[in-house]
Structures are given as C-alpha cells and as structure tokens.
A = this chain, B = another copy of it.
Amino acid sequence: MCRWIAYKGRAIPLERYVTEPVHSLVRQSIDAKEALGATQGDGFGLGWYATHPEPGLYREVRPAWSDENLKHLCRHIRAHLFFAHVRAATSTPTTRPNCHPFIHGRFMFMHNGSLGDWDLIRRKVEGLIPDAYYRSRIGTTDSEAAFLAILGAGAETDMAGALTRTVARIADMVRESGDHKAFRFTSALTDGETLYAVRYALPKEAANTLYFREDGGDVVIASEPLDAERSIWTAVPANHLLIVPKSGKPRLEPFLDETRAAAE
C-alpha cells in the first residue's frame, strides 16, 4: 500500500506539502496512519509541471525519509501541478522504473492499490497496451501497465473516458480471473491541465482511502490528511471520481456502475 499527494493551484514550492506539514508525505513514508503497514520505504517519486508542457520527474529506490536530494528538490522546485508518491511494494522489485509517478508526453499517473492478483491478469492487461505505447513500458508494475492502457484507450482526446473504460475492462479481467484478491485503484491522472483522482475498488468496501481539501482555488488530494486538522479534509467516497478542471471548482462524480460493482 502506498501513499500519495496531488496538488493543483497557484505555483508553490513542493515542500509546502511534501516535506513541511506535521504529517507530510515524507513523514507518512515512515509512519503512515491509514495504511496497512506504517512504512512505505520501497522508493518514491515526484513529478511536476513548470515551464514545459511535459512534466519533470525524480524517482529513487531509497526511502523518501532519508533522501537529501528530495529535500533540496522540494525546496527549490515550484510548480502549479505536481504529484508525489511513496511506495510500499506489493510484489514487483524496487527499481526506479517501478516507482510512481509514471509519465508519457504530457501525461502523468500514479496509483495506490493493486490489480488483484497481478500474475493472473498481467498478460491480459499488457495486451490492452497498443504497440505505440508498449515500447514505453520500462518497468513491470501493474500500475504502469494500467497507465499505458489508459493512454492507449484514447486519453489524448478523452481522458476521463479512457480512464473509465480501462478501469472497467480491468475490473472485468479481475472478475473473470476467478481471483479473490481485491482490485484497488486509488489513483491520479493528469495531462498537465485537468486533474482526475479516482477512489475505486472491487469490491467497493476494499477501496483505499482518499481525501482532498480546497483552499482559495488550490486543491490538495492525499491518501491521508497531511496535518492534524482533519476537519478541513473531505473524504472522497468509494467508487468516485474527483475532477479538478483547468479552471473552476473541483467536483465529485460516481465512478463506474456502483450497482454492478455492489452486485458482485
């Protein structure tokens, strides 16, 4: 189980949320409160949008809490949109290409959860990735495969549709595999302008936590609150999508057919 945060708003130094808060993401890497295990020490990553349409990326296999570089980068890099992720590996090795976030062109993605029993559906999910994107598969995680499948499903022209269709297809694969492990998909996707955050699981009650808060147009989304004032954080309901548009207020929408998911 991993921990992540996503930010969209005025340009700020990344440290504002990654390292400074009492219960910052880096603090969560060694002492998470709402994760299955307290430690997410299997690598981490930062991705940010600044002067280019494509995001910058820093990923490392060492734990976030002891990485001096991370502290410097969070202090010196400013961005209006960024992702940060600390990893607790499930079954794939601790390598940089297996760390989140993943990027491709303008797109960036990160994930907390797992696609059921990856061994059972890996080939099918990889089969969703068109050749043009498969050459970008440099790691072996289920998360990267899901990202490339979403891109292959038409994210260029319909990001939300590609996201929804791909998760629905993977959910079908998990069901058909006869797997009894949950499909957990608490994730964030952006093209550098619109930000989508999903809290989804099959079965629904297995959904990993997700929270957000809004402050004067700046939106922070996080696996668990970053500070003691839990009251200012809103929980994203299970199987919902939080949309943070290029401009305007964030809004919540149901994600996939809940009745159908509940009926499983």
Q: Which residues of A contact B (CB under 8 A)?
A: 13, 30, 37-39, 41-42, 48, 50-52, 56-63, 65-66, 68-69, 72-73, 75-78, 89, 92-97, 119, 122-123, 131, 134-135, 137-140
Contacts and interface: CB of A to CB of B under 8 A. Distances in A.
A114 to B, nearest CB: 15
17 contacts: A13-B51, A30-B41, A38-B38, A39-B39, A41-B65, A42-B66, A57-B72, A58-B73, A60-B69, A62-B94, A63-B63, A66-B89, A68-B96, A93-B95, A95-B96, A122-B135, A123-B131
Given A97-B140, A140-B139, A56 B72 contact: yes
B52 A75 contact: yes
B56 A93 contact: no
A61 B62 contact: yes
Closest 3 pairs between A and B when the two form their complex, measured CB to CB: A56-B76, A95-B95, A119-B135
A202 B151 CA distance: 35
Nearest to A123: B134
A72 B49 CA distance: 11
Contacts of A61: 62
Contacts of A97: 93, 95, 140
A16 to B, nearest CB: 13
A105 to B, nearest CB: 14
Contacts of A37: 30
Contacts of A69: 57-60, 96
Given A68-B93, A122-B134, 15 more contacts: A30-B39, A38-B38, A39-B39, A39-B41, A41-B66, A42-B66, A52-B75, A52-B76, A57-B72, A62-B62, A62-B94, A66-B94, A73-B73, A77-B77, A92-B138
A191 to B, nearest CB: 17
